[in-house]
Amino acid sequence: MATASAVNIKPLADRVVVKPIEDSEEMRGGLYIPDTAKEKPQQGEIVAVGPGRMSDEGKRIDMELKQGDKVLYGKYSGTEVTVGGEQYLILREADVLAVIG
């Protein structure tokens, strides 16, 4: 698996880059589920974190998330991008619903 530094992604402000964790199950009841019929993943691993957002007073507010965190996010959150043949999701820290484990 490529890391964000290997493909040179550096998020800005309070954004994070997430590598979606795909459901490993391809067969259900002996039937193949095509990619177009699968649900979008709602969890992933953070591969890059921005420096944090600026407050109204001009001070940087540090991110609570860090690289390597496994997170849950909304089904239609963020922007999907493909870099170096890998699929990533860029979203704001506020769009992350929870950290897993």
The dotted CATH code for 16-100 is 2.30.33.40
Q: What is the pLDDT of residues 65-101, one digit of tens each?
A: 999 999 999 988 999 999 989 999 999 999 999 999 8
The DSSP line for 21-41 is ------EETTEE--GGGSPPP
How far is it, in rounded angstroms, from Cα 101 to Cα 98? 10
pLDDT digits (tens, 9 = 90+) for 33-55: 666 666 777 999 999 999 999 99
Rounded Cα–Cα distance for residues 90 and 73 (Å): 11
